[in-house]
A and B are shown apart, each in its own frame.
Chain A
């Protein structure tokens, strides 16, 4: 993953990249690899309030539907509409295929996220 230092991770396999007070959220390469070919993405709407650990959206592969969880609480300020039409981009470039940007209320929620090394370890344990 390029510039891996910018990324933080959740135990549920979302990645987070912070820009100012916005957190861009996607799913990790590990997650897309395990889901298989992604054929459908369901995203929240701009303006929706999300809470940390709560549902953010749904990603469906040929096999099944999987929930995506919000890593931080806050308001959805952007959604990546391209993915609605080309969900397969997540398989090609998971780290660049952000789903939503969340304007977060409480930056301390970011402290609980995993760094690169901790996430790598988690993946190895789960694989």
Chain B
């Protein structure tokens, strides 16, 4: 298993380290657990090690043109130091990955991609490279911390002179001095709460991790594992690659149509996505709550009238709502709110009801 530069920290803090797609990362910390960590992020703050994420730089006069071809969102309106979210698709419309595009300027970008997809994505980008543009996989040179929660700004502000209150949602500061360490900070995250993602040299990661935990102690900051990261993102319905989106699921089906700009110039997947939109989107990602006692989990079959209509993409107990809820990709004709579905839980059909998404509203700064 690959270790992040914070491995020692996790072990010392009694993290329950598991194999997470080839990375040794804590699922939770002993003495806390997922529920406590989840609650900390919703009410105070949590610190996550997300150094496993992949980073690719895109530079050159044709950088913008190249990215426009590769992703489904339209980056032409972006200003410098802004960030856009986008799926990246196959010609058939399925998703290669979802990523964040950080724009430094017209000829320089940073793409932040999923850890488990890093090699695949980099190869995909390389295969389609065109024009005067150079890409580099700098994942090994980047550690990443995520400081998330309503107290995140107060905590981080203690360690830097940069005026964080001026940093808007989905914007970044490229070189910030935090306790003597130089880092890129962005107002982004994957929890539905306000917060920051901090990219820095791996050699500085453990120093800053300790600094942040000490600085945030008063505010209730605690280290959080990937278990809480999953329940937090799930409650606000942020998609996870391999579950809500995948090679066989289009962004339109996954409810990410907002990020699919069919009116921009040619991009990979455009024809397939246009056709799908014209013909009618066959499946829809819905939220549901369990009526019968039971927890739906990923890949469980969903039925209506005894027939298979789809599958659960993510299902869990919701720590914030104290209910068993889930997301499912189902035949669009059954997708109306209030509709009843059945989920096959260990071969028993349990009743569920389709409810509104997201289950918990985001409370990010200036969220659109």
Q: Which chain B residues in 17-61 approach chain A with CB under 8 Å? A: 27-28, 30, 33-35
Chain B CB within 8 A of A94 CB:
no
Which B residue's beta carbon lies closest to that of A88?
A: B35
A84–B34 CA distance with the chains assembled, in angstroms: 20
Are B35 and A42 touching (Cβ within 8 A)? no
Are B35 and A40 touching (Cβ within 8 A)? no
Which B residue's beta carbon lies closest to that of A60?
A: B295
Interface size of A as a range? 10 to 19
Interface contact tally, CB-CB below 8 A: 39
A77 contact set on B, CB distance < 8 A:
none
B27 contact set on A, CB distance < 8 A:
36, 63
A33 contact set on B, CB distance < 8 A:
30
B324 contact set on A, CB distance < 8 A:
40
A40 contact set on B, CB distance < 8 A:
293-295, 317, 324
Chain B CB within 8 A of A122 CB:
no
A50–B324 CA distance with the chains assembled, in angstroms: 28
A60 contact set on B, CB distance < 8 A:
295, 317
Are A37 and B293 touching (Cβ within 8 A)? no
B28 contact set on A, CB distance < 8 A:
36
Q: How far is the CB of B193 from the nearest CB of chain A, in Å?
A: 18
B316 contact set on A, CB distance < 8 A:
62
A46 contact set on B, CB distance < 8 A:
none
Are A58 and B346 touching (Cβ within 8 A)? yes
Are A62 and B294 touching (Cβ within 8 A)? no
Are A37 and B346 touching (Cβ within 8 A)? no
Chain A CB within 8 A of B171 CB:
no
Are A36 and B34 touching (Cβ within 8 A)? yes
Which B residue's beta carbon lies closest to that of A63?
A: B227
Q: Which chain A residues in 69-87 approach chain B with CB under 8 Å? A: 84
Q: How far is the CB of B37 from the nearest CB of chain A, in Å?
A: 10
Q: A62-B35, A62-B227, A63-B227 are in contact. Are A39 and B297 (CB under 8 A)?
A: no
Q: Which chain B residues in 224-279 approach chain A with CB under 8 Å? A: 227, 231
Chain B CB within 8 A of A117 CB:
no
B35 contact set on A, CB distance < 8 A:
37, 62
Are B293 and A62 touching (Cβ within 8 A)? no
Q: Which chain B residues in 188-212 approach chain A with CB under 8 Å? A: none
B34 contact set on A, CB distance < 8 A:
36-37, 62-63
Which B residue's beta carbon lies closest to that of A55?
A: B346
- 8 Å CB contact of B319 from A62, A65, A84: A62
Q: A63-B27, A63-B34 are in contact. Are A39 and B227 (CB under 8 A)?
A: no
A7–B227 CA distance with the chains assembled, in angstroms: 32
B346 contact set on A, CB distance < 8 A:
42, 58, 65
Q: How far is the CB of B111 from the nearest CB of chain A, in Å?
A: 30
Q: Which chain B residues in 312-328 approach chain A with CB under 8 Å? A: 316-317, 319, 324
A42 contact set on B, CB distance < 8 A:
293-294, 346
* Chain B 275-309 near chain A by CB (<8 Å), digits 1 or 0: 00000000000000000011101000000000000
Are B295 and A65 touching (Cβ within 8 A)? yes
Query: Which residues of A are in contact with B by a Cβ distance under 8 Å?
Result: 33, 36-37, 39-40, 42, 58, 60, 62-65, 84
Query: Which residues of B are in contact with A by a Cβ distance under 8 Å?
Result: 16, 27-28, 30, 33-35, 227, 231, 293-295, 297, 316-317, 319, 324, 346
* Cβ-closest 10 pairs across A and B: A39-B317, A62-B34, A37-B35, A37-B33, A60-B295, A40-B295, A36-B33, A62-B317, A63-B227, A36-B34
Between A and B, 5 residue pairs with Cβ closer than 8 Å are: A37-B33, A40-B317, A40-B324, A42-B293, A42-B346
